[in-house]
Amino acid sequence: MADADPARKNADLGVRTVSAAVMLVVAGGALWLGGVVWTAFVCAVALGVLWEWTRLARAGTQHPGERAAFNFGGMLYVGIAAAMLLFLRNPVFSLAPLLTVLLAVIGVDVGAYFTGRSLGGPKIAPSISPSKTWSGLLGGVLGATLVLFGAARFWQEGLLSVQPQGNAADGPACFGMQPCWYLTANPLPLFAICLMIGIFVAVCAQAGDFFESWMKRRAGVKDSGNFIPGHGGFFDRLDGLLAVLFVLGLMILFQPR
């Protein structure tokens, strides 16, 4: 098959680049400002994802009961993920825990993309997402692990603050939990811990990607929406992050007291 028109590819790349820059500025500004701005931003994005979710559910189901179950699941799934974004931007914490989660998911995407394109190999589930390979998953694990290890070393060296505001004497907080085992290990066990967490983050993020791809295939659409030029919809951009935040939220909700 002949290659796509280079001019069109370049035009698409330009649109994607501009859209990505705008998304970065808007999301980064809301994150930095925090408070009501961050809350409004998270709620707006969550509503956008839910709107796309209901469209996919409507197109991919025929029975009203099945559709209702999908919509209820979407409210639970997106609601817990959004609540985690608000929880991690709590004034009690520094920005470090939330930024670590966000950068770890980005590390999965970047590692999976470049490793998958470079090495290729067997597909994980070609009937759901033909582009996802096992080599890409391993690259995603490596990307997340390096982000987590780098963040932990920065924290240990005092280059990033993780002290709860107003409670510095209590020691660093891990998402509000004590003791902070993530920051107290020495470098060798620390890398092993980061690797285990990196595997967890990569598997969750890829599972979220597969789940969204499965919903789109059932609905017979390429993208969840068209709100973001060159990138599709909110759900397309946040599928992996939603899954990671959802599982993290369940872990915190059901942790032993």
Q: In sequence order, which ranges of the chain are alpha helices (DSSP H)?
A: 6-33, 35-60, 64-88, 96-119, 134-156, 181-184, 187-219, 234-253
> Residue 229: which pLDDT band, with cuts at 50, 70 and 90?
low
pLDDT in tens, 190-219: 888 889 999 999 999 999 999 999 999 998
Residue range 187-192: average pLDDT? 75
pTM, two decimals, is 0.83
Q: Give the integer Cα–Cα distance in Å for 139 and 202.
A: 9
Name the region of 29 (left: φ>0; alpha: ψ -120 to 50; beta: rest): alpha
What element of type H or E holds 157? none
Instruction: Give yes or no for residue 119 having a pLDDT over 80.
Output: yes
Amino acid at 116: G
Contacts of 10 (CB under 8 A, 6+ apart): none
Angle between helices 35-60 and 64-88 (to 10 degrees): 160
Instruction: Give yes or no for residue 54 having a pLDDT over 50.
Output: yes
CA of residue 250 relative to chain centroid, distance: 15
- Burial class of 163 by CB neighbour count within 10 A (0 to 12, 13 to 18, 19+): middle
Instruction: Give yes or no for residue 95 having a pLDDT over 50.
Output: yes
Q: Give the integer Cα–Cα distance in Å for 76 and 64.
A: 18
- Least confident piece of the model among 41-50, 88-97, 98-107, 235-244: 88-97
Q: Give the integer Cα–Cα distance in Å for 76 and 116.
A: 32
% of the chain surpassing 70 pLDDT: 79
> Residue 224: which pLDDT band, with cuts at 50, 70 and 90?
confident
% of the chain surpassing 90 pLDDT: 37
Provide the token pair at 83.
């609540």
Instruction: Give yes or no for residue 107 having a pLDDT over 60.
Output: yes
